[in-house]
Amino acid sequence: MAERAQDVVTWETVEPGITAVTLRRPPANALGIPLLDGMHLAMDAAEKAGDVKVMVIGSALPGFFAAGADIKHLSTIDAETFTAYGDRMRAVNDRLAASPWLSIAAVDGVALGGGLELAMACTLRVAGPGGRFGLPEVKLGLIPGAGGTQRLPRLVGRGRALDIMLTARQVSAEEAYRIGLVDRLTDGDATEAALTFARELLGPSLPAQLSVVRTVDAAFDLSLAEGTRYEVEQIQALFEDGEAAEGISAFVGKRKPQFR
């Protein structure tokens, strides 16, 4: 029986503002077409709900976050179909990175190749003790093709990114945390730790938080002067749409702000 996208990716509202997305495609959450389509369905549902502030992406499979591209699928396709498959992987990651909510990857198991690229497309990453990270595409005569060569250097720097990609080695959770690939490390369950992290993100203004992400990301592409101008534009927009006014008014009035 053909796999259904809604079976290999499921989602639920954990509490107001937090959606948990779970990858469940045995044996290793390979990023086949059903899983990619399932990620789009989960994001469609979040957009339709309109009240998602944080999306936590985790796995139901012990030992695996996502093992990467579907190698069996790759072995059956030609160059043109390979290009289309890569486009589908990139579309998921680009949509996730640009989504109107924050996202956290909960990794307690291997996140390799496309699996790591999916995790890096998230705003933040949490790792459990079993987390293992790598971009081993050179072993297949390929390079990372869903954002890996671009996002990894931005997170860990050029030298460390080249080390990881050229050797095709796996990085432990501890090393990933030390070099900045992972933002929080837990001795317990990665998904539970990511949900705790998500709750910390619920209080502040989401438009302000997204502005922070956009401005920090711009720092990698703009000069200091250009980045500072962009920062000013983001601040001005928050005043113009009333978000800053509500925050300041609430602070002065010693009340809880009613952010959008």
Average pLDDT over residues 233-256: 81
DSSP 65-122: EE-EE-HHHHTT--HHHHHHHHHHHHHHHHHHHT-SSEEEEEESEEEETHHHHHHHHS
pLDDT beyond 90 at 165: yes
pLDDT beyond 90 at 250: no
138: three-class secondary structure by DSSP: helix
Delimiting residues of CATH 1.10.12 domain(s) in the chain:
206-253
Average pLDDT over residues 219-236: 94
Pick the CATH number of 206-253 from 3.40.190, 1.10.3470, 1.25.40, 1.10.12: 1.10.12
Q: What's the CATH architecture for 5-202?
A: Alpha-Beta Complex (3.90)
Average pLDDT over residues 221-244: 89
Percent of the chain with pLDDT over 90: 78
Model confidence over 15-46: pLDDT tens digits?
999 999 999 999 999 999 999 999 999 999 99
Number of other residues whose CB lies within 10 A of the CB of residue 87: 11
> 259: pLDDT confidence band, cut at 50, 70 and 90?
confident
Active site residues: 69, 114, 117, 137
Task: Specify the pLDDT at position 1.
Answer: 58
Task: Specify the pLDDT at position 193.
Answer: 98
Q: Count CA atoms within 13 Å of residue 249 on its CB side.
A: 9
Mean of per-residue pLDDT scores for the chain: 92
> Residue 198 CA to chain centroid, in angstroms?
13
Task: Specify the pLDDT at position 73.
Answer: 67
Percent of the chain with pLDDT over 70: 98
> Residue 154 CA to chain centroid, in angstroms?
14
44: three-class secondary structure by DSSP: helix
Task: Specify the pLDDT at position 23.
Answer: 97
> 179: pLDDT confidence band, cut at 50, 70 and 90?
very high
> 62: pLDDT confidence band, cut at 50, 70 and 90?
very high
Task: Specify the pLDDT at position 242.
Answer: 72
185: three-class secondary structure by DSSP: strand
Model confidence over 101-131: pLDDT tens digits?
999 999 999 999 999 999 999 999 999 999 9
pLDDT beyond 90 at 71: no
> 260: pLDDT confidence band, cut at 50, 70 and 90?
confident
Global confidence as pTM? 0.93
Task: Specify the pLDDT at position 239.
Answer: 82
Delimiting residues of CATH 3.90.226.10 domain(s) in the chain:
5-202
Closest CA to 39 of 127, 147, 102, 118: 118
User: What's the one-letter identity of residue 159?
Assistant: G
- Burial (0-12, 13-18, 19+ Cβ within 10 Å), 163: middle
